[in-house]
């Protein structure tokens, strides 16, 4: 089976995307893979498998790789006397901006290129943590109390709180504020990355569970539930290493009832919005109630470590991509008006 | 001042977009205008001003016009021995799919082309009438009671009701159901266009008011309030003619207090989401309360007829387009990890 892995992007998570792509490529051994790198200037390059290491990009060596152009149906490589089209379906592995904000989804849809990844509507709701709250509220999925704070405003939620830029992933710009003296710096830091920040109460020692899945043949295929390593929160550096993990995760010790509750919340979020994507939802459990923490519509290394047979899962997902319904234009109104005018 | 008018698109409102573009072009006499047509196959063409009539497109004559390619900074025309870049800011005049759903916005953002029009987040919230309800609820703007109905489901709101496909504009697929016997046909019709439909109570004789505006220098410039022609609702044919209107609208006879209430609801919707766009919000007024009916993020012929000096308004809006904050990639993590590894 053919697959294009698209990675990089003009994003704060650019480097994480490179690491993710290297890891995922290794996990899809049955596939015939084309590697496409998007640099921060939005140029696309075709990467040879043997050059697929972080240094190829950090050193700028990629600038000598063959340029690609997005055209109808795929990525085109233009040679002096010929052209080659790489038209395999795309696995969108651009984390953060470009990849998770709906931009790449729109471009792939516009040029009629099939892809695994969130569609633009799903991207808008998951990329902005404020909109994720609206989504959860509207679907009656619980999430923590929150406040959206703009520059110059102060949060009113009692300390301790957690402060997050509305639109960044991988814990960039996130702080826990336990003392009033830490507030100003934490807000300044978050406002470096976004003009709106989301403030929530910080619940120390809260139980966290991650669950991934995707819709296959009208039914969600769930991963095992993972209880992530316990710490206040993962900072960028730890997450960076986390994105390159290759071993399987340990399954959380949960009774069937709680697993079902997590799956139920996941399906409310997923159905009708995330089709075509393999997502990971991160939940809190407080007094046996499930709270949505965040949606990762392109999870680090595609959360491969949560699935028994990741390669088969991706094969199956490729057969289950949503089809676009495109309007047919027949000019009946212009024709009828011209007729009425005698033209 | 230079401006590119982009129109057409693979959309049920393709023909309306052509009519809109012809009308708007006429209203922007101070501008040096480039006309770019997007056909239903997503090819871009450069249209000569003298060919700017509906028949050029309905007859297929546009296929002989020069092809354009979106590249960084604008639309490129490739000639045998040279290239020409049309890099004026774009007025996105593609109504409906492509233009109002966030696709064109994403492409223009990705290729660093400035434009008047809704950004992708704003597009997602205004294009889908279900998401518009979530937006209104979250911002505490009143809207009519509603229900989202999927295929096979029946609405529970008491008759008379109005049934709309979630994601279409220009009244396509919209029906008013007064008798139970009309329900099935109305639902079938709406489901022709979308898999989800929005059902609302139909309030006969409700007062309707339209208000347009855009953010200039941090403050919303409002249009006059229009009371649209009274009928149950505008069908496609009537709207089609409406999109080509060239005369000024009549101002609604409202007291200052009610105008302020409409403006207040408009600003709640607009601020922080619709910057860069000139939008028209359509409201109902019931017992002196303002209800949002719908958001038109690219109103027909840009609602020019609601503004005193439309040409000056567009000039000013071009100076007030939001800037994109793009992540700078410096590879500090890859460098530091390579250093730690001694590479």
pLDDT in tens, B18-49: 999 999 999 999 999 999 999 999 999 999 99
In terms of domains, do B135 and B243 share one? yes
CB contacts under 8 A, A 188-207 vs B, are: 196
Pairing of strands B147-150, B115-116: unpaired
In terms of domains, do B172 and B242 share one? no
Does position B240 have pLDDT exceeding 90, yes or no?
no
Q: Do B42 and A102 touch (CB under 8 A)?
A: no
In terms of domains, do B221 and B266 share one? yes
Tell whether B230 is covered by a domain: yes
Model confidence at A37, pLDDT cuts 50, 70, 90, reads very high
Which secondary-structure segment (H or E) carries B28?
none
Three-state DSSP class for residue A188: helix
Query: Does B12 lie at the interface with A, CB-CB under 8 angstroms?
Result: yes
Nearest chain A residue to B128, by CA: A121
In terms of domains, do B130 and B244 share one? yes
Query: Does A185 lie at the interface with B, CB-CB under 8 angstroms?
Result: no
Tell whether A328 is covered by a domain: no
Mutation site for A-interface testing, chosen from B22, B110, B341 by largest number of A Cβ within 10 Å = B110
Q: Do A15 and B333 touch (CB under 8 A)?
A: yes
Of B124, B236, B331, the CB nearest to A120: B124
Whole-number pLDDT of residue B40: 93
Whole-number pLDDT of residue B234: 53
The length of chain A is 343
Mutation site for A-interface testing, chosen from B96, B104, B120, B297 by largest number of A Cβ within 10 Å = B120
- Measure the CA–CA gap between A8 and A21, rounded to whole angstroms: 9
Strand partners, B47: B35
CB A218: neighbour CB atoms within 10 A?
A: 8
Q: How far is CA B327 from CA A12, A46, A130, B184, B275, in A?
A: 5, 22, 20, 51, 20
**Domain total for chain B?**
3
Q: How far is CA A119 from CA A80, A188, A223, A318, B202, in A?
A: 35, 32, 21, 15, 32
For chain A, percent of residues with pLDDT exceeding 90: 80
Does position A31 have pLDDT exceeding 90, yes or no?
yes
Helix axes B103-110, B120-127, angle to 10 degrees: 180
Contact A296, A118 (CB under 8 A): no
Model confidence at A329, pLDDT cuts 50, 70, 90, reads confident
* Domain limit, last residue, from B201, B221, B237: B201
* Domain limit, last residue, from B155, B175, B201: B201
Q: How many CB contacts within 8 angstroms connect chain A with chain B?
A: 134
Tell whether A283 is covered by a domain: yes
Q: Do B40 and A137 touch (CB under 8 A)?
A: no
CB A293: neighbour CB atoms within 10 A?
A: 18
Does position A295 have pLDDT exceeding 90, yes or no?
yes
- Measure the CA–CA gap between A142 and A265, rounded to whole angstroms: 9
Does position A232 have pLDDT exceeding 60, yes or no?
no
Chain A residues with beta carbon closer than 8 angstroms to that of B138: 134, 137
Q: How far is the alpha carbon of A70 from chain B, nearest alpha carbon, in Å?
A: 10
- Measure the CA–CA gap between B7 and B22, rounded to whole angstroms: 10
Per-residue pLDDT reduced to its tens digit, B45-63: 999 999 999 999 999 999 9
Contact B321, B114 (CB under 8 A): yes
| C-alpha triplet A52, A58, A59: angle, nearest 5° | 95
Query: Does B134 lie at the interface with A, CB-CB under 8 angstroms?
Result: yes
In terms of domains, do A135 and A236 share one? yes
Which of A30, A28, A63 is closest to A310 using CA atoms?
A28
Contact B21, B7 (CB under 8 A): yes
In terms of domains, do B45 and B101 share one? yes
Query: Residue A172's domain is classified under what CATH number?
Result: 3.30.1490.20
Which of A220, A318, A317 is closest to A268 using CA atoms?
A220
Mutation site for B-interface testing, chosen from A98, A124, A273 by largest number of B Cβ within 10 Å = A124
For the whole model, what pTM was predicted? 0.93
Tell whether B273 is covered by a domain: yes
User: Which position has the token pair 């990762």?
Assistant: A296
Tell whether A326 is covered by a domain: no
Model confidence at B254, pLDDT cuts 50, 70, 90, reads very high
Q: What is the mean pLDDT of chain A?
A: 92
In terms of domains, do A97 and A74 share one? yes
Contact A103, B106 (CB under 8 A): yes
Nearest chain A residue to B109, by CA: A103
Specify burial of residue B111 (Cβ count, 10 A radius: 0-12, 13-18, 19+): middle
Three-state DSSP class for residue A108: helix
Does position A343 have pLDDT exceeding 60, yes or no?
no
Q: Do A72 and B128 touch (CB under 8 A)?
A: no
Tell whether B100 is covered by a domain: yes
- Measure the CA–CA gap between A162 and A199, rounded to whole angstroms: 6
Burial pattern A180-208, b for ≥16 Cβ within 10 A else e, equals eebbeebbebbbebbebbbbbebeeeebb
Q: How far is the alpha carbon of A334 from chain B, nearest alpha carbon, in Å?
A: 7
Distance of CA A39 to the CA centre of its chain: 18
In terms of domains, do A8 and A130 share one? no
Cis upstream peptide for A160 (omega within 30°): yes
Name every residue whose Cβ is closer than 8 Å to that of residue B56 and which is 6 or more positions away in sequence.
Answer: B47, B62
User: Which position has the token pair 């989401």?
Assistant: B273
Q: Do A55 and B334 touch (CB under 8 A)?
A: yes
Does position A326 have pLDDT exceeding 80, yes or no?
no
Mutation site for A-interface testing, chosen from B42, B117, B334 by largest number of A Cβ within 10 Å = B334
Query: Residue A260's domain is classified under what CATH number?
Result: 3.30.470.20
Name every residue whose Cβ is closer than 8 Å to that of residue A121 and which is 6 or more positions away in sequence.
Answer: A102, A273, B124, B128, B131
Query: Residue B56's domain is classified under what CATH number?
Result: 3.40.50.20
Q: Do A58 and B112 touch (CB under 8 A)?
A: no
Contact A115, A89 (CB under 8 A): yes
User: Which position has the token pair 């922080």?
Assistant: B272
Domain that holds residue B197: 147-201
In terms of domains, do A133 and A255 share one? yes
In terms of domains, do B112 and B228 share one? no
Q: How far is CA B224 from CA A305, B23, B309, in A?
A: 58, 20, 12
Q: Which two tokens stand for residue A205?
A: 């020692």
Q: Which two tokens stand for residue A89?
A: 């379906």
| Average pLDDT over every residue of B152-170 | 89
Which of A85-99, A325-339, B130-144, B235-249 has the least mean pLDDT? B235-249
Q: How far is the alpha carbon of A254 from chain B, nearest alpha carbon, in Å?
A: 34
Does position B275 have pLDDT exceeding 60, yes or no?
yes
Query: Does B272 lie at the interface with A, CB-CB under 8 angstroms?
Result: yes
Q: Do A58 and B335 touch (CB under 8 A)?
A: yes
| Average pLDDT over every residue of A161-188 | 89
Does position A283 have pLDDT exceeding 90, yes or no?
yes
Model confidence at B242, pLDDT cuts 50, 70, 90, reads low
User: Which position has the token pair 């407080």?
Assistant: A286
CB A177: neighbour CB atoms within 10 A?
A: 21
CB contacts under 8 A, A 67-126 vs B, are: 72, 96-98, 101-103, 105-107, 109-112, 120-121, 124-125
Does position B168 have pLDDT exceeding 90, yes or no?
no
| C-alpha triplet A314, A315, A317: angle, nearest 5° | 60
Helix axes A14-27, B332-340, angle to 10 degrees: 60
Cis upstream peptide for B160 (omega within 30°): yes
End-to-end CA distance of chain A: 53
The single-letter DSSP state of residue B42 is S
- Measure the CA–CA gap between B285 and B289, rounded to whole angstroms: 5
| C-alpha triplet A157, A158, A160: angle, nearest 5° | 110
Tell whether A332 is covered by a domain: no
Tell whether A333 is covered by a domain: no
In terms of domains, do A161 and A135 share one? no
Whole-number pLDDT of residue B12: 87
Name every residue whose Cβ is closer than 8 Å to that of residue B223 and which is 6 or more positions away in sequence.
Answer: B211, B212, B213, B280, B303, B306, B307
In terms of domains, do B132 and B275 share one? yes
- Measure the CA–CA gap between A35 and A167, rounded to whole angstroms: 27
Does position A238 have pLDDT exceeding 90, yes or no?
no
**CA atoms in the 13 A half-sphere facing the CB of A40:** 15
Q: Do B109 and A103 touch (CB under 8 A)?
A: yes
């Amino acid at each position: 089976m053919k697959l294009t892995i698209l990675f990089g992007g003009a994003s704060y998570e650019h480097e994480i995307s490179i690491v993710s792509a290297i890891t995922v490529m290794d996990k899809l051994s049955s596939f015939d893979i084309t590697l496409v790198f998007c640099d921060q200037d939005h140029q696309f390059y075709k990467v040879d498998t043997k050059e697929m290491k972080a240094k190829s990009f950090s050193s700028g060596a990629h600038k000598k790789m063959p340029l690609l152009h997005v055209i109808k149906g795929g990525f085109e490589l233009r040679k002096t006397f010929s052209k080659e089209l790489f038209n395999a379906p795309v696995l969108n592995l651009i984390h953060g901006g470009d990849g998770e904000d709906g931009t790449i989804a729109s471009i792939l849809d516009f040029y009629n290129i099939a892809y695994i990844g969130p569609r633009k509507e799903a991207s808008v709701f998951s990329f902005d943590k404020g909109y994720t709250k609206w989504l959860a509220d509207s679907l009656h999925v619980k999430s923590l109390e929150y406040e959206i704070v703009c520059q110059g405003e102060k949060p009113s939620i009692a300390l301790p709180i957690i402060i997050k830029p509305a639109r960044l992933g991988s814990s960039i710009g996130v702080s826990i504020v336990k003392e009033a003296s830490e507030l100003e710096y934490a807000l300044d830091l978050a406002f470096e990355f976004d003009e709106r920040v989301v403030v929530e109460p910080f619940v120390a020692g809260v139980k966290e569970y991650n669950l991934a899945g995707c819709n296959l043949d009208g039914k969600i295929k769930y991963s095992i539930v993972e209880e992530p390593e316990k710490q206040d929160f993962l900072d960028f550096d730890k997450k960076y290493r986390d994105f390159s993990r290759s071993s399987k995760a340990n399954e959380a010790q949960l009774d069937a009832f709680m697993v079902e509750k997590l799956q139920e919340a996941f399906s409310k979020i997923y159905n009708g919005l995330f089709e075509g994507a393999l997502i990971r939802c991160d939940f809190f459990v407080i007094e046996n109630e499930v709270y949505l923490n965040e949606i990762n519509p392109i999870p680090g290394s595609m959360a491969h470590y949560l699935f028994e047979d990741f390669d088969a899962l991706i094969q199956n997902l490729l057969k289950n991509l949503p089809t676009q319904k495109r309007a047919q234009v027949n000019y009946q109104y212009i024709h009828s008006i011209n007729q009425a005018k005698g033209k």
